[in-house]
Structure 1
């Protein structure tokens, strides 16, 4: 098919206007629609006030939307060339958290920039996708089949995951590992190798248990039996289940949720915002939001399929998988299906770095879409077909 494409498209020699025309504006619409739902829920979380959450989130989204469109205009080959330096900078920031990070809610995860609390572990989700996509770009099945070939990318995954786990942030560490696993699989790594890694991980569980913080152990034990301490460690998840159940099919109505507005539901603007939404709009409202998420996921996988270069396919798959993990972990967490790990609901939960990370990721996804027909060599330059 590539011989029927315009040579300009294969080289990526597009004007700014042509690139702007190639942007998937329908995807931008659905992303904005989900963010709009988030603004309304943050308005409700503040008992019918735009401050302190909704107004700030709207500004952050506006800035993030601009960042997304700027990244979409960047040639995907430039993203590939800068993938390793970006990874290196974010990794240094992660090390910086260990040295001079800010402590909040019992964890050391942020760097105080004065005007903004930066969480490098969130940025690592995108940086790691770019770095792994560059490493596996152009790799043959023979390359991927050699065990030593997989050592560098495994180090790229487990080094930041270990730093994130030390903060401690179990949820983000698991997201880094799970999202990277999908990229490894799409690059051609055999299933039996995943089986070996999974077996080693299971065997290491007793050892890892000894390194968990007391509150992390409490979360796991609470997940297994939340009724054991209903006023202590089990309080969050029990109140979340009560709110979910009380919403019924169509909910109690906007601003009418009792569990959230009477302050029984903790962290309703961040981790448990889906619970508040389900209480006010019921199962129907929750399903509508999930449908919007599914549409965005379909767009992401479609962009991956249409990309004519391996780097773009792996970036699109990695970003889309990360977006899926945000959704799955948060909703499963508030429903009591997995332990509480503090992962925000994408584009809905209040948070600056999480919003910025998502919009940067969508920008990379859009860049892949805009430059989907570019012919790329192993080093990222133009290559004649």
Structure 2
């Protein structure tokens, strides 16, 4: 996010073209330090020195690892202020205690141990953090986490479909209240398991099952009359429903939203469920969704990479911003499309890679610009606000 107090300074700090002397001067300003903290890649030693001179422990959190040189890492480690010395480590520890997601490399650096050791740490919060962060862990490690005595660790280990649940563990996981909802979202279900889950009195279980991508047509058919907006939208996104059924389900949820139903609003506007199956469908089938009235289908279509040029032209001009942003992430996006999106709507910093890091960024006019910031910026030819 751009600092709203001084957006020009924050934008300059983020700008990958900002020279070292500008960054050193920016480090004297809070908004400038904020922007610098969002930069990618290594910081020059002079910039780090300026941050240590003008900033506090909040600014020191980002001064670690490959982001700074070995000399600067020693400089931070020997800093007289313990709040500066331990800023990064304390931040990571706090994130673990708060059950916030943090990268596995950050955990290894902050705790000084490899992931293979951290997965057996005495702290259940740390083991859960490792389970959330170590996406490509071996199956043997996953089995160890599935058998963990602490339910928060087992839950963390099953949040995502990868590395998955071995077939011999599926029945046990479905019977475990700590992970049942998680695994019901993605493991292949037998008819008996599906029927047992649908007998549950918990709505969350039904909603998890409804979003399972492995459901058969018969299973989806059993979901169609469940009076739950989240289940209806999930069923509407299934590959097993026809256009008429999809329209009927969406119309029911739209009517509930009109009547003030909060769950209907969440189902239509705030869920992250998508018809992922569409990405693997034949091209001619996917193209039939180019004019689909439901945004999520067009957004998934825009995430494909083999569409004809006419499809890209229409997706780049889609009325929904989320569709245009998804389309802009293809490898050969025209630079004017990228520039127009970022200048008009900024970037989305929780989705990587950023549009401003796209290989085709600004190619159309890079020769005519000096230092300018993106998304909260100093315009071309404006005086630098550092004075």
For the pair shown, the structure with the greater C-alpha radius of gyration is 2
Q: Same fold (TM over 0.5)?
A: no
TM-score w.r.t. length of structure 2: 0.29
Structure having the larger proportion of residues in helix: 1
TM-score w.r.t. length of structure 1: 0.29
